[in-house]
């Protein structure tokens, strides 16, 4: 497989950003993604949430972190996403790092 084929496939995959809400599984995290929409009738802005299970190979994400996930092949019954990077550390993760240091 050439590198151009791999980069073309990467560009077609969906990328989402969300907050980690659970890390209780090994090598997996649950990411909550929010989107704001206008109510069809009343036009009030409301927030809708979706939860995705993502593969976290190095167990680097903590609860409260803002992460970027990318669509991938099915890894298990419910995992169809993988962790790309941790965008921003949450307050709980930063507090845990300070106490460990």
Element (H, E) at 17: strand 15-22
Residue predicted with more confidence, 96 or 71: 71
Task: Examine the pLDDT at 56 and tell me if it is beyond 80.
Answer: yes
Q: For residues 42-61, give the mean pLDDT.
A: 97
Q: For residues 9-15, give the mean pLDDT.
A: 86
Residue predicted with more confidence, 92 or 59: 59
pLDDT band per the 50, 70, 90 thresholds, residue 95:
confident
Residue 2 pLDDT: 63
Domain positions in the chain are 15-100
The CA-CA-CA angle for residues 50, 56, 58, to 5°, reads 155
Q: What is the pTM of this model?
A: 0.83
> Which CATH architecture is the domain 15-100 placed in?
Beta Barrel (2.40)
């Amino acid at each position: 497989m050439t590198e151009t084929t791999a980069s073309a496939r990467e560009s077609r995959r969906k990328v989402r950003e969300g907050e980690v809400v659970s890390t209780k599984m090994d090598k997996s995290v649950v990411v909550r993604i929010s989107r704001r929409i206008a109510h069809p009738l009343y036009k009030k802005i409301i927030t809708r949430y979706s939860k995705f299970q993502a593969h976290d190979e190095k167990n680097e994400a903590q609860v409260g972190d803002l992460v970027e996930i990318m669509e991938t092949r099915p890894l298990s019954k419910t995992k169809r996403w993988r962790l790309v990077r941790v965008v921003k550390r949450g307050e709980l993760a930063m507090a845990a790092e300070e106490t460990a240091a």
